[in-house]
Structure 1
Amino acid sequence: MAEIKSVAIAGATGTLGPHVLKALVNAGFQVTVLTRSKKPGASDANAKVLEVDFASVESLTTALKDIDAVVSTVGGTAIDGQTILIDAAIAAGVKRFIPSEYGTVTTSPKLETYPLYSSMTKIRKYLQEKASAGKLTWTVLACGCFLEFLFGTPTLLDFANHKVNLYDEGDNRMSSTSMVNIGKAIAAILKNPDATKDKVVYTSEVILTQNKVLGFAKELKPEIKWEITKVQTSVLRKESLEAFGAGDFSMPVMMKLLAGTALAGDLYGGAYDQTDNELLGIKELTGEDVKKLVAEKLV
C-alpha cells in the first residue's frame, strides 16, 4: 500500500481528539481538521482547518480531496453518522479509514446487539463491506479503558473519599491506555499501513484489577481505612438493559451498561494478553509506574 502522507480528523475538539491531532502533527503528517465551525484555539497551528457539513456527502467529499486517510474521534451521538463520512471518503479516493471505536470490549460478538455497541458494530461492518469491494481499507484500534478515566474518576477507587465499589469481587482484568498513547498508536497505524490493513489492532499499556490498585493504595498509605462495597456486573447489565427497554437512554443508564460490560473482565475480553504494542511503539507500564499513579491520587 502507498505511503500515507495526508490525514483528516473528525472530532478533533472532543475528549480524545486533541491528543490524536497532536500525535498526527508530531508524526509529520499533513493534517486537516474537519469541523462544523472554526473556533479560536480549537486546533493545532500546524493543521489546516476546514468547515464542513457532516450531513452532506458532497461537502465532505470536497474537503477530503487529496486526503490519504481519515481518523474519526467523534462522540457517541455521532457514531452512526460516520457512514456519511465513509461514503465521502470513498468518493474522494481516501485509502484508510479509522472509525471512532476506542474502547475495551467493543469488538466482542456477545455485545453486537447492545445499545452503544450496536452502533460501533454497524460502522465496523459497513467498513468491512466497503473494503471487501476494494473501495478503501480500515483499521479499528482497541485500546482498553482510557487510563485518565480510570484514575480521574471513582471507577476503580474513589481516592478522594477512600471508598471502593468492587465489581465481581475486584479481580476482573481490564486493559488500559492513556489518551496520549492512543494518539501515538493511531499515528503508528498510519505509518504502518500494510501491517494494519483491514484488522483490529490492539494496544494496552497495562492490565489492571481493582484489587491490584487497592493493594498499592494500602501499601502506600496503610493508615487509610477503605470503605468497601460490592456489585455484580451481571446486575448492572440487567438493570441497564431493562432501563433501555423502558426508553431510558440517560447518561447514568449508559454508564451502568459500560460498567457492566467494559469492567466485566474476561467475560467480554476486556484484557488483551496479546497486543500490537511493539508495532505501535507503545511501552507498557511497570508495577512501579502504576504505584506512582496511585501515589499521585493519594496526595
Structure 2
Amino acid sequence: MSEIKSVAIAGASGNVGPHVLKGLAEAKFQVTVLTRSKKPGAYDSSIRVIEVDYTSVESLTAALQGIDALVSTVGGTAIESQTTIIDAAIAAGVKRFIPSEYGNCTTNPKLESFPVYSSMAKIRQHVQEKAKAGKITWTVLACGGFLDFLFARPILFDFGNHKVTLYDEGDNRMSSTSLPNIGKAIAGILKNAAATKNRIVRTSEIILTQNKILKIAQGLRPDIKWEINTVQTSSILKEGLEGISAGDFSTPTFMKIIISTALAGDVYGCAYDETDNELLGIKELTEKDFEKLIAERLG
C-alpha cells in the first residue's frame, strides 16, 4: 500500500499517548493531535493540534482530512466510542487505524465476553468489518504488560515493603514492553504498512515471571527478607466477575478482572514466543539490563 506520512493521535495526553507522540515525531511522521480542548504550550510547536468533538463524526471527519493513519490511545470509558472515530476516519479517507488495545491477552477469544475486554473486542470487530469492505485497514499492537508500570507500582512486587504475592505459585509467563518502546513500535507499524496490514502485531521486550524476578532480587540483595504469599488467579477472576454481576462497577472490581487474566500466563496466551520485534525495530532486554532494572527498585 502507499506510504504513510501523516498521522493523527486521539488521546495523546494519557498514559500511552505521549510515548506514541514521541515515537512518531522521532520517526519523522507529520503528527496531528486531536484534542477536546487546546491548552497553550501542551505540545511542541512542530505538532499540529486540532480541537474536536469526539461525539461528532462531522467534527472528526473535518479534522482528519489529509491524514494517512489514525492512532487511538484513548482509555477507560472512551474505548467503545472509537466506533465514531473509525467512521470519521473512513469518511475522511484515512488508510490505517490502530485502536486503543495495548495489553498482552486482549485479543484472546476466551476473553471477548468479559468486562473490559468486550469493549476492545467490539471495536476490533467494527474495524475488521470495515476493512473487509475495503474501506480502511487496521493493526492491533499486542505489547504485553507495561514494563514501567509493573516495576513502578506494587503489581508484581512491592519493592518498597519487600512483599510479593505470587500468582499461581509465581511461574506464569508474561510478555512486557516499556512505554517508550510501545511508541517506537507504533512508528514501526506505520513505517511497514504493507507488512502490518490487517493483523495483530506482537512486541515483547522480555518474557518475565515473578519467580525469575524474585531469584534475581534475592541474588542482588541476599540481606533482604521477603514476605511471600500466594494467590490463585482463578479465584481473583471469580471475585471480579461476581462483583460485576452484583452491580459493583468500581475500579478495584475491574482491576481484579484485568490482573487475574493478564497475569494468568499461558492460560490466556500472556507470553509471546514469536514476535514482530525485528520488523518494528524493538530490541529485547538483555539479562544484564533486566538485573539493572530490578537493582534500581531495590535501592
What is the alpha-carbon distance in structure 2 between the residues aligned to residue 271 and residue 194 of structure 1? 25
Deviates more, 1:222-231 or 1:39-48: 39-48
Give the SS at the match of 1:228: strand
- 2:58 is equivalent to residue 58 of structure 1: yes
1:255 to partner: Cα distance = 1.1
In the other structure, the counterpart of 1:217 is 217
What is the alpha-carbon distance in structure 1 between the residues aligned to residue 160 and residue 120 of structure 2? 34
1:179 to partner: Cα distance = 0.4
Amino acid at match of 1:263: L
What is the alpha-carbon distance in structure 2 between the residues aligned to residue 192 and residue 27 of structure 1? 12
Amino acid at match of 2:297: K
CA displacement, residues 62-84 of structure 1 (integer Å, 9 cap, x when unaligned): 00000000000001110000000
What is the alpha-carbon distance in structure 2 between the residues aligned to residue 129 and residue 43 of structure 1? 34
Give the SS at the match of 2:148: helix
- 2:288 is equivalent to residue 296 of structure 1: no
What is the alpha-carbon distance in structure 1 between the residues aligned to residue 298 and residue 41 of structure 2? 33
Amino acid at match of 2:62: T
TM-score (norm: length of structure 2)? 0.99
Structure 2 counterparts to residues 1-299 of structure 1, below 5 A: 1-299=1-299
Give the SS at the match of 2:138: strand
1:46 to partner: Cα distance = 1.7
Give the SS at the match of 2:3: coil
What is the alpha-carbon distance in structure 2 between the residues aligned to residue 150 and residue 45 of structure 1? 33
CA displacement, residues 102-136 of structure 1 (integer Å, 9 cap, x when unaligned): 00100000000000000000000001100000000
Q: Is this contact kept in 2: 1:25–1:46, CA < 8 A?
A: no
CA displacement, residues 153-200 of structure 1 (integer Å, 9 cap, x when unaligned): 111111000000000000000000000000000001000000000000
Give the SS at the match of 1:160: coil
Give the SS at the match of 1:253: helix
What is the alpha-carbon distance in structure 1 between the residues aligned to residue 183 and residue 81 of structure 2? 22
1:286 to partner: Cα distance = 1.4
Q: Is this contact kept in 2: 1:90–1:135, CA < 8 A?
A: yes
Amino acid at match of 1:161: N
Give the SS at the match of 1:40: coil
Q: Which runs of 5+ in 1 are unaligned?
A: none
What is the alpha-carbon distance in structure 2 between the residues aligned to residue 160 and residue 40 of structure 1? 38
Amino acid at match of 2:171: D
What is the alpha-carbon distance in structure 1 between the residues aligned to residue 181 and residue 98 of structure 2? 16
Amino acid at match of 1:119: S
CA displacement, residues 207-260 of structure 1 (integer Å, 9 cap, x when unaligned): 000000011110000010000011000001000000001111111111111111
% identical equivalent positions: 71
1:42 to partner: Cα distance = 2.5
What is the alpha-carbon distance in structure 1 between the residues aligned to residue 254 and residue 47 of structure 2? 34
What is the alpha-carbon distance in structure 2 between the residues aligned to residue 24 and residue 247 of structure 1? 41
Q: Which runs of 5+ in 2 are unaligned?
A: none
What is the alpha-carbon distance in structure 2 between the residues aligned to residue 27 and residue 167 of structure 1? 39
Give the SS at the match of 1:122: helix
TM-score (norm: length of structure 1)? 0.99
What is the alpha-carbon distance in structure 2 between the residues aligned to residue 213 and residue 105 of structure 1? 21
What is the alpha-carbon distance in structure 2 between the residues aligned to residue 235 and residue 46 of structure 1? 50
Give the SS at the match of 1:55: coil
Q: CA RMSD in A?
A: 0.6
Give the SS at the match of 1:89: helix
Q: Is this contact kept in 2: 1:164–1:229, CA < 8 A?
A: yes
What is the alpha-carbon distance in structure 1 between the residues aligned to residue 186 and residue 45 of structure 2? 20
Give the SS at the match of 2:201: strand
Deviates more, 1:55-64 or 1:244-253: 244-253
